[in-house]
Amino acid sequence: MTSLLASLSQIYLVASWRAGLVIALALALVSPALAAGALGGAALGIGCFLVFSRVRRRWGGAAPSVTLIDAQLSPQARAGLLGYNGALIGALVMSRCGWSVAALGWSLLGVLGGVSVHALLERSLGRFPGNLGSGNAALPVLTAPFCLVGTALVVLLPPQAGTPVPCVAPGCAFLGIPAAFAQVSLGSGWLAGLSILAALASAAPRAAAWGVGAAVLTLPVLFLIPVADFAGGAWSYCAALVGIALGATFAGEPDEGAGGWRHRVIPVIAAVAFALLIQAAFLWAGWPVLTWPFVLSTWVALAVEGLRYGR
């Protein structure tokens, strides 16, 4: 059970089953089906990795660069690294299909695809020069498997049911910051987001601080869009993930390098701006946004840093 809960916290690049429990409860407040989809998707993801690992060990022939599908699966599973993309896929399916047999079938198909994409991406990203990610991969996989599989699912599945209209008063714009943390895991509402943020702050204060700071950087978007569009968190959730990734998860120790945390500020600002541009482009083109802005902007930032410092 701790592996399932840790998978939910890994959506936010944090390894904590306690934070995962709060995330599950927050999603359940939004929609019990959403929480069930996230936990079920995480279970399917971990199960698929374990089955593939057993088949690999029995029949051999796997490439050595595939670091997740190996004998170290148990520590990876406990940290939630095997189930977070499955959790997002399961939540996406349940948000569109609800409680149904179809939801189970689509979740299984989607998670199987996500696990396969994860392994392929890990091998491909491992060829990038440098050592910026975890394990042997030069760039981290992040939520790219969810993005690739989720884009196909959005086309194939029924439209999502309407969500409550956020507050439209000017002061409600600031609710978009906590609401963004609910949006990351496909939830909604500032109360659910605030609960998730509190759990992250307890488990990983540095990550939570960078996430909030990066989300605040999106406030100038209010000059271009209605307050209601921003108050739901849709324009800040990818920025929050960018801040956590570049400010905490892939930044080394807090006092590493000259200037400590200060040397992370410019990369985070630049990546947040790039993520906003990517999101605007996706919306203009009519493509599903999902967490594509977070993935692409983080990859670019880490790649540039790797080339710059020859890592």
- Give pLDDT tens digits for 139-189: 899 999 999 999 999 988 888 766 665 665 666 778 889 999 999 999 988
Q: Quick one: tokens of 98?
A: 């609800």
Across 4-17, b (16+ Cβ under 10 Å) vs e yields bbbbbbbbbbbbbb
Inform me whether the pLDDT recorded for 58 exceeds 70.
Answer: no
pLDDT computed for residue 167 by the predictor:
60
pLDDT computed for residue 241 by the predictor:
97
CA distance 143 to 201: 21
Domain ranges of the chain: 1-156, 170-309
Inform me whether the pLDDT recorded for 222 exceeds 50.
Answer: yes
pLDDT computed for residue 164 by the predictor:
63
Between 209 and 253, the higher pLDDT residue: 209
pLDDT computed for residue 137 by the predictor:
46
pLDDT computed for residue 71 by the predictor:
41
- Residue 264 CB: number of other CB atoms within 10 A? 22
The answer to whether domain 1-156 and domain 170-309 are alike in fold is yes
Between 80 and 220, the higher pLDDT residue: 220
Q: Which amino acid is at 188?
A: S
- Residue 281 CB: number of other CB atoms within 10 A? 13
Inform me whether the pLDDT recorded for 235 exceeds 50.
Answer: yes
Distances (CA, A) of 200 to 115, 193, 302: 26, 11, 23
Taking phi first (over 0 means left), then psi (-120 to 50 degrees means alpha), and beta for anything else, what does residue 203 get? alpha
pLDDT computed for residue 136 by the predictor:
42
Q: Can you tell me the mean pLDDT for 265-272?
A: 94
pLDDT computed for residue 131 by the predictor:
40
Percent of the chain with pLDDT over 90: 56
| Long-range own/partner contacts, residues 202-209 (CB < 8 A, 24 or more apart) | 202/18, 202/19, 203/9, 203/14, 203/16, 203/18, 203/19, 204/14, 204/16, 204/19, 204/248, 206/247, 206/248, 206/254, 207/12, 207/13, 207/14, 207/244, 207/247, 207/248, 207/249, 208/244, 209/247
Inform me whether the pLDDT recorded for 91 exceeds 90.
Answer: yes
Q: Give 197's pLDDT tier (boundaries 50, 70, 90).
A: very high
- Whole-model pTM? 0.88
pLDDT computed for residue 159 by the predictor:
80
Between 58 and 240, the higher pLDDT residue: 240
Q: In CATH, what is the architecture of 1-156?
A: Orthogonal Bundle (1.10)
- Residue 133 CB: number of other CB atoms within 10 A? 22
Helix residue spans in the chain (DSSP H): 2-10, 17-30, 32-59, 73-78, 84-97, 101-125, 144-156, 176-183, 190-203, 205-216, 227-231, 237-244, 265-285, 292-309
Between 270 and 64, the higher pLDDT residue: 270
Q: Give 285's pLDDT tier (boundaries 50, 70, 90).
A: very high
Q: Can you tell me the mean pLDDT for 28-40?
A: 94
Beta-carbon contacts of 251 under 8 Å, excluding residues fewer than 6 positions away, are: 261, 264
Residue with tokens 């029995």: 58
Class of the CATH domain delimited by 170-309? mainly alpha
pLDDT computed for residue 310 by the predictor:
45
The 8-class DSSP code of residue 246 comes to I
* Cβ-contact 49, 69 below 8 angstroms: yes
Q: Give 226's pLDDT tier (boundaries 50, 70, 90).
A: confident
Q: Which amino acid is at 42?
A: A
